[in-house]
Structure 1
């Protein structure tokens, strides 16, 4: 019989999200007129005239509509929170990562190391390439225990930590294409465009470059 461990949102986390999201939305909706009246008193608040107009509506209808809208917003938040959370299914032979309905299965035989980079879980291949990286809410001790129990190559830190070089524009050790991608990614990091930075990380991986970020500074190692 194959062993299996699933890591992700705990039952308590799920209960808090399922109950708390719609409930908070409904409460905000019920008191929306009071909240809007308070917002209109703040100087230069955006959409001030629109808020004042809503505040003049019949209070009972505004509250009822606000509760309905709040409940819908809360349910949408629950769906987003569940899809955004990383689910890891670990067996004797493989680990399956699922996030945003995208599922990736990684075979144990292809993995050389698994470690945590702050709140990201990172999986490296046999050549040191980055096979997978994703943010997770699960605490490191729980992740470590699960992978060690099923005999995956868990590491306390990046085994290639000493191989990284801090990137500077036109770095002489990197190709023109890598330097160009790193320049674009640095700009994305400055603008806090996480989505673009993630796409560029994948483009750099295709060029054989593995990236480690520290305070919006990029450190690079080539495979």
Structure 2
């Protein structure tokens, strides 16, 4: 049994639940559930309407859109010893994506192009799938409307 706070809210289409204790967090939306361990999480924060958990490589372990109140999420995670930040600690590292922009790993530009098309066509599932694929390249993506911003994880940064 998961001891800790369980928060529920009605989102636009599906029920969102976050359950957290001292060792793990479970994020559930509809029939999809993810579990993230405390030991693999470096920081937790809210970015707009997204709950975000980052790993040791500065990669996104989870990004879950919800209408849950940020103050209740912060309280739940803090009470169980999770490292909470009031904002994205890497906010200044993001760069706006434009086609052909240098600095991306090989292949990432094509994925960002495909993701941009998915965003513009309101194909959310496809955009989420492409976000996951970009993560394999060490690229973290955040959106502002239909604009994409990106940064590299620690291991994807060029040496120096």
Query: Normalising by structure 1, what TM-score?
Result: 0.64
In the TM superposition, residue 198 of structure 1 has moved relative to its aligned partner by 1.0
2:101 equivalent in structure 1: 171
**1:202 Cα shift?**
0.8
List 4+ stretches of structure 1 deviating above 6 A: none
Question: Do the aligned partners of 1:8 and 1:137 also contact (CA within 8 Å) in 2?
Answer: no
| More strand, by proportion | 2
Residue 119 (structure 1) aligned with residue 49 (structure 2)? yes
Whether the aligned pair in 1 keeps the contact of 2:105 and 2:137 (CA below 8 Å) is no
The question of 1:144 aligning with 2:74 is answered yes
Contact 2:8–2:68, Cα closer than 8 Å, also in 1: yes
SS of equivalent to 2:107: helix
State yes or no: 1:95 paired with 2:37.
Answer: no
Equivalent residue for 1:63? none
Q: Which has the larger radius of gyration?
A: 1
Gaps of 5+ in 1: 14-79
Structure 2: gaps spanning 5 or more residues? 154-160
User: Is contact 1:114–1:123 with CA below 8 Å preserved after alignment?
Assistant: yes
Distance (Å, rounded) in 1 between the aligned partners of 2:33 and 2:65? 14
TM-score by length of 2: 0.87
Question: How far apart, in 1, do the equivalents of 2:106 and 2:70 lie?
Answer: 37
| CA-to-aligned-CA distance 1:62-91 (integer Å, 9 cap, x gap) | xxxxxxxxxxxxxxxxxx95xx22211111
Q: What residue number does 1:51 align with? A: none
In proportion to residue count, which structure has more helix?
1
Partner of 2:151: 221
Number of positions where the alignment pairs a residue of Structure 1 with one of Structure 2: 151
Matches of 2:28 and 2:125 in 1, distance apart? 17
TM-align CA RMSD: 1.7
Aligned residue in 2 for 1:56 = none
Q: State how far apart, in whole Å, the 2-side matches of 1:189 and 1:103 are.
A: 23
2:127 aligns with: 197
CA distance, structure 1, for counterparts of residue 111 and residue 77 of structure 2: 34
1: CA distance, partners of 2:148 / 2:32 = 27
Q: Is 1:161 aligned to residue 91 of structure 2?
A: yes
Aligned to 1:8: 8
